[in-house]
Chain A
Amino acid sequence: MLILSRKIGQSIVIQAGNRKIKLIMLEQNNGSIKIGFEAPKDIKIYREEMYEEIVKQNKAALESDVNRLGKIKTTIPKLVKKDKKQNT
């Protein structure tokens, strides 16, 4: 693991191929650090624990008990099914 020390106001640049991500150390208080990001639009930046939560929940959703659906759907408010638009 590469370890760098940075002060407030300083930055880190990560270059992957021809793409650059810049992390700017903005503020520090009570043991937490505020970081700003500059990155190409298609790069998604997540808090690790949130991303891991989504992964966990997506995997749990796959284990859903298909046989119970009939009963559940009756508890969900009725919805008038619209005619699907024909894509031409």
Chain B
Amino acid sequence: MIKEYETKLGSVKIDTERTIIFEYGIPGFEDLKQFVLLEPEDTYPIMWLASLEEKNVAFPVTFPQLIRNDYQFTLPQDLTEYLELDKTEEAIILSILTIPEKEDEITINLAAPIIISQKNHKGVQYLIESEEYKIRHLLKEELERSKVILSAQKDGE
């Protein structure tokens, strides 16, 4: 069923099947349960996790592997069960971006990714308990770091 919603990116027509349910909410926004992932061409690969209940709430998100190419973590079993995930590919992993006026100050949250199940359309924001990943990484530094890793891999071939 197609419904029209008001979101931060204007009014969008959404197939209700694309609704992602955050039963536990997103920290700071616990009362909002229904979100949708908007992928406008003109900002892709930056996408928007937009609330369907509160039109001013939309988080800019992107794929963390694009920013840190060796990003990886293990989901605990209770979470894979809750999201009904059998394989990694069934999950969409996203990181929230914070984009202030100064481009050099853009940060990405690698410690608390958004995990969406393509199986049951449920979502969570999961906190990785690791020294490696922080709530705020400078985007600029991460991209530089990934470039270094990539060129080292190329040299090794």
Q: Which residues of A does B touch, CB under 8 Å?
A: 41-42, 44, 46, 50-51, 53-66, 68-73, 75-77, 79, 81, 85, 87
Contacts of A56 in B (CB 8 A): 28
Q: Dominant SS at the A interface?
A: helix
Q: Is B112 an interface residue (CB 8 A)?
A: yes
A46 to B100, CA, bound (A): 28
B28 contacts A69, C-beta separation under 8 Å: no
Does B149 make an interface contact (CB < 8 A)?
no
Q: How far is the CB of B146 from chain A (nearest CB, A)?
A: 8
CB contact between A61 and one of B17, B18, B60, B127 (< 8 Å): that residue: B60
Interface string of B26-53 (1 = CB under 8 A from A): 1111000000000000111110000000
Q: Is the CB of B45 within 8 A of A65?
A: no
Taken together as a complex, chains A and B put the C-alpha atoms of A32 and B127 apart, in Å, by 22
A72 to B139, CA, bound (A): 10
B62 interface residue per 8 A CB criterion: yes
In the assembled complex, B75 has its CB within 8 A of some CB on chain A = no
**A58/B26 contact (C-beta < 8 A), A41-B78, A53-B135, A65-B100 known:** yes
Contact of B27 among A58, A68, A73, A87 (CB under 8 A): A58
Interface: B115 (CB within 8 A): no
Residues of B in contact (CB 8 Å), total: 44
Q: How far is the CA of A14 from the CA of B72 in the complex (A)?
A: 35
CA distance A3 to B138 in the complex (A): 42
Binary interface encoding of chain B residues 69-82 relative to chain A, with 1 for a CB under 8 A from any of its CBs, else 0? 00000000010011
Q: Given A41-B82, A72-B106: A54 and B45 within 8 A (CB)?
A: no
- Which residue of the partner chain, among B46, B56, B98, contacts A73 with CB atoms under 8 Å? B46
| Smallest Cβ-Cβ distance to A78: which chain B residue | B45
CA distance A73 to B39 in the complex (A): 13
Given A50-B127, A69-B60, A87-B17, A76 contacting B143 (CB threshold 8 A): yes
Query: Does any Cβ of A come within 8 Å of B99's Cβ?
Result: yes
